[in-house]
Homo-oligomer: A and B are copies of this chain.
Amino acid sequence: MTDTEIRFGILGCADIARKVSRAIALAPNATIAAVGSRSIDKASRFAAANGFPPSAKVYGSYDAVLDDPDVDAVYVPLPTSLHRRWAVAAAEKKKHVLLEKPVALSAEEFDHIVAACEANGVQFMDGTMWMHHPRTAKMREFLSDSERFGELKSIHSCFTFAASEDFLKNDIRVKPDLDALGALGDTGWYCVRSILWAADFELPKTVIALRSPVLNEAGVILSCGASLHWEDGKVATFHCSFLSNLTMDVTAIGTKGTLHLQDFVIPFEEGKASFSAATKSWFTELVTDWLPRPSEHTVVTDLPQDACMVREFARLVGGIKGSGLSPDKKWPTFSRRTQLVLDAVKASIDKGCEPIAIFN
């Protein structure tokens, strides 16, 4: 451990925390300092199973992690219904907050988290890993290129996976008291994020849920979709589901170019990731072949995207801690806009697929 390493505490032993623990270990500017669970035995087993350093502390409560002066930042993978309570508590203890998605059950609820982070001068970031893959920066370059891509006109995003019977009965993501947004808050979060990302985080003015969302008996969304509409005529659609084979598509079409990828949330391979970019696509004479064809771009990454995320978060925390910089407001803004759109989709579903206006 060096002076520049940010010391992470982990709240809870969620499955995803195993991956983020590895990411903290891999990131050059981060280290695991503590893990807390409601059961100290569970925390101990988690620390052992995930190869935590001997210096890492193990606590039988989340509060103990927040009270530890050797913890700079917390990673919070708790069920969404607990986000507000624990993210606010962490901020009030001056811990920087890396929070799993969806960030809250509503933007209104999320605003309490943001307010607590701002009041306490701590960095906020959500756990959307793919945002930090170097592929994402390369794709952004393409989308921003007026010659290669032009003006964005439409986006389609899809994230589905076929949940097991056990998942559909027991996972927190199908429980109204834990993750009430269901598939919309889980896979839908990524779809909405990808759409906003492609639109450079400009919010749509109207959101309309697609008809016939699938809900479980408790009213939690298992599958749904929506269309998003911008002032300038841009349109996006997405589909998210727990009931279909694993699929992760983003297609963004501009006046001059097209971006395609089919593994946007988790790249097919950890060490490198590809996307397809097409510019001024057309045909040969007699329309027998494409000329030019889309080209495949592969981006190698030195760290897995989850470790890139931790590295970026720790870099920002380091700047605040070491150099007195202010927290970067970009990340909570991205989170809030994603949540605003989720809220609008949920409201549209609740109102029988009526259009919902979005106000920032």
Contacts and interface: CB of A to CB of B under 8 A. Distances in A.
Interface of A: 18-19, 22, 150, 153-154, 156, 158, 160-162, 206, 208, 210-212, 214, 223, 225, 227, 229, 233, 235, 237, 239, 241, 243-247, 249, 251, 253-258, 260, 262-263, 266-270, 276, 278-283, 286-290, 293-294, 304, 355
A249 B247 CA distance: 15
A304 to B, nearest CB: 7
Nearest to A152: B244
B255 A162 contact: yes
A174 B214 CA distance: 39
Q: What is the oligomeric copy number?
A: 2
Contacts of A162: 255-256, 280
6 contacts: A154-B160, A156-B239, A162-B280, A208-B211, A246-B290, A260-B262
Given A244-B255, A245-B150, A290 B268 contact: yes
A26 to B, nearest CB: 11
Contacts of A211: 206, 208, 227, 229, 235, 355
B212 A229 contact: yes
Contacts of A260: 249, 262
B235 A262 contact: no
B253 A258 contact: no
Nearest to A279: B245
A293 B257 CA distance: 27
A19 B246 contact: no
A240 to B, nearest CB: 10
Given A154-B160, A289-B270, A245 B254 contact: yes
Contacts of A18: 286
Given A227-B211, A287-B19, A290-B268, A253 B247 contact: yes
B276 A288 contact: no
A158 B256 contact: no
Nearest to A285: B18
Contacts of A249: 156, 251, 260
A342 B217 CA distance: 36
A34 B136 CA distance: 56
Nearest 6 pairs between A and B by C-beta?
Answer: A246-B281, A153-B244, A244-B253, A270-B288, A247-B258, A237-B237
A141 B72 CA distance: 56
A294 B245 CA distance: 11
A321 to B, nearest CB: 29
B241 A227 contact: no
A245 B227 contact: no
A262 B154 contact: no
A100 to B, nearest CB: 14
A300 to B, nearest CB: 15
A344 to B, nearest CB: 14
A243 B269 CA distance: 35
